[in-house]
A = this chain, B = another copy of it.
Amino acid sequence: MRNYETMASNEIRELIRKQEITGPTAGMSKGFTQANLVILKKEHAFDFLLFCQRNPKSCPLLDVTEPGSFIPSKLAKEADIRKDVPSYRIYRDGVNTEEVLDITEYWEDDMVGFLLGCSFTFETPLLESGIPIRHIEEKCNVPMYKTNIQCEKAGVFEGPTVVSMRPMSHEDAIRAIQITTRFPAVHGSPIHIGDPSQIGIADISKPDFGESVTIKEGEIPVFWACGVTPQAVAMQSKPSIMITHAPGCMFISDIKDEKYSIL
């Protein structure tokens, strides 16, 4: 197996386009920013753009394509969002009806692509600060949970905030808050730390998306707003069609993570 971690973003995208990579992208093209994807028809684009503006921690926008265009020109001029994500989910009237590897045949001339920051971006500086990341250690997808924190509504879009969770020592948690504060474009600081029940998570061992990870004795769970939020919102808001990445299967851009650091 080739070393995906050290490959350039365009090389990884080529393997994805050839469908040689069809799963989670965490740790690939280390240092290049990964993004969540939401595709909607133009008629819903204003409402969704406003939804992102009102919910910047879960939906930090990195790029919005021109209506009808499948090129995310700010993130990767040669990319095609119809083919360059390992796996897509199609939501029809709020129901995830299909999971596919290419959406060319689903694309319509009035569609708009929204690319949202992803917490994988801040995992590199966390690792570099010596903070272990459990789902990378356990080689699985990050656990994600629906919470009782409602997003701020915009037009038809409303629903719960989804969070990703990383367990760590209390000492590392403080440092992780400092580090992620530097990256508001990729969810920024955590939205909760500690007791999962306070944000409506009944069982931390049963994530709504992704996979469960070990929480060791003495560790505290740290929760960040997650770019899967639009998928939970789609389920509740039921636009006629909405296409997203499959959880953990991100778009890999040509932008270096450090570009999104504000300090």
Residues on B with C-beta less than 8 A from A52 are 53
Nearest CB of chain B from residue A233's CB, rounded to whole Å: 18
Give the docked Cα–Cα distance between A146 and B86 (Å).
44
Oligomer: number of copies? 2
Nearest CB of chain B from residue A54's CB, rounded to whole Å: 8
**A64 at interface (Cβ–Cβ under 8 A)?**
yes
The answer to whether B262 touches A184 (Cβ under 8 A) is yes
**In A181-198, which residues have CB < 8 Å from any B CB?**
181, 184, 188
Give the docked Cα–Cα distance between A111 and B54 (Å).
19
Give the docked Cα–Cα distance between A64 and B61 (Å).
16
Give the docked Cα–Cα distance between A100 and B207 (Å).
56
Stretch with Cβ within 8 A of B (4 or more), from A43-51, A90-98, A157-165, A239-247 = A43-51
Q: Which residue of B lies closest to A61 (CB)?
A: B53
**A1 at interface (Cβ–Cβ under 8 A)?**
no
Nearest CB of chain B from residue A135's CB, rounded to whole Å: 26
User: What per-residue 1/0 map shows which CB atoms of A52-83 lie under 8 Å from chain B?
Assistant: 11100000010010000000000000000000
Give the docked Cα–Cα distance between A17 and B50 (Å).
28
Residues on B with C-beta less than 8 A from A181 are 262-263
Residues on B with C-beta less than 8 A from A45 are 46
Q: Would you list 19 pairs from A and B whose C-beta atoms are within 8 A, ordered by A residue?
A: A45-B46, A46-B46, A46-B49, A49-B49, A49-B50, A49-B53, A50-B64, A52-B53, A53-B53, A53-B61, A53-B64, A54-B64, A181-B262, A181-B263, A184-B184, A184-B262, A188-B262, A262-B262, A263-B263
- Other than the given A45-B46, A49-B53, A184-B262, 16 more pairs (CB < 8 A) read A46-B46, A46-B49, A49-B49, A49-B50, A50-B64, A52-B53, A53-B53, A53-B61, A53-B64, A54-B64, A181-B262, A181-B263, A184-B184, A188-B262, A262-B262, A263-B263
